[in-house]
Amino acid sequence: MKFGKLQDISQVDFSLAAPDPRSREVLQSSAGEAFRAYVGCPVWGNKDWIGKIYPTGAKPADFLSYYAHSFNTIELNSTHYGMPKAETLLKWKEQVTPGFEFCPKFPQEISHYQKLTGRPERTLLFCERIGLLEEKLGCAFLQLPPTFGPEQFQRLQRFVMDFPPHIPLAVEFRHPAWFENRHLIPQAFSLLSAHGVGTVISDVSGRRDVSHASLTNATAMIRFVGNQLHPTDFSRMDAWMDRLQHWVEQGLQKLYLFVHEPDDLYAPDIGKYAIEQLNQRFGLDLPLPAIPHQSGGQMTLF
């Protein structure tokens, strides 16, 4: 993910935002279900993962099935670049393991080109298509373009109010004006929470405002962008485990954690570290990708 990428991170304050008290109220009103965690990468078609999480000689057609034995979700970015075909989604659904969940990203024609206006039938078609995933549909997410600010709030309001309620949805805000002290502004928070729509939190070096602390439902969707397994990648992940424990104690029910690294070569490595920490901290039993590592944080890559 190039958004917010920095070449020099030496001066970045990676501290997490202070908790948003409004999130506590949302979580406490939703408490009841056991905490579930899903960890995944932004792609599965990375040939550099052959010999890493894919066996030597693996063919691209088999990558998804191998991927699903290492991670239990995927940030489905391919749907951002075109309306997915029904037959493609049905094929993907059959290739993954039980309990796996896809999180499709809204097509850019809706989010970026139309900016949520015009041709509402395209939104309904997208929801109809991803609904074919059935129990393997996780949470769709709508990435608003960086030019989409609070002055366009009414467009977002209409979109959310008309959105099919049976499709889980989270919204990623990128314009700086949506945030105050790394908390979502009141009008946006109230809209999403009233309709059960979640937020996307992006932890990226160059835009610390989008690493906010506002949960508007009982699901946290976090896009974590590392820096080639720099030591701060691991200390940042540890900080997220502390924050997640705080949220789980308040009633968080579900986590989608998507791990990015430059070129995504090392995404499985930081993903494995995250799974290890989740299993240890929350008593989960998520399968671990078969990547060599050593204790003490930093991983052995070669």
Rounded distance, CA 210 to CA 22, Å? 17
In a domain, residue 149? The reply is yes
Of 265, 272, 262, residue with least CA distance to 50:
265
Report the pLDDT value the prediction gives residue 298, as an integer from 0 to 100: 41
User: Which residues lie below 8 Å from residue 115, measured CB to CB, with a gap of 6+?
Assistant: 145, 148, 152, 155
How many domains are there within the chain? 1
Count, in order, helices (H) and strands (E) of the chain: 9, 10
Rounded distance, CA 283 to CA 63, Å? 29
Q: 100 phi and psi, to 5 degrees?
A: -75, 145
Q: Which domain holds residue 259?
A: 34-282
Of 250, 192, 213, 284, residue with least CA distance to 31:
250
Tokens of 189: 């928070």
CATH number of the domain encompassing residue 73: 3.20.20.410
In a domain, residue 122? The reply is yes
Q: Is the dihedral of CA 122, 124, 127, 128 positive or negative?
A: negative
Report the pLDDT value the prediction gives residue 294, as an integer from 0 to 100: 36
Q: Is it the case that residue 89 has pLDDT exceeding 50?
A: yes
Q: Is it the case that residue 109 has pLDDT exceeding 80?
A: yes
Report the pLDDT value the prediction gives residue 132, as an integer from 0 to 100: 98
The per-residue pLDDT for range 23-63, each reduced to its tens digit, is 999 999 987 789 999 999 999 999 999 999 999 999 999 99
In a domain, residue 262? The reply is yes
Task: State pTM to two decimals.
Answer: 0.95
Tokens of 111: 């989010």
Tokens of 203: 């932890």
The per-residue pLDDT for range 189-220, each reduced to its tens digit, is 999 999 999 999 999 999 999 999 999 999 99
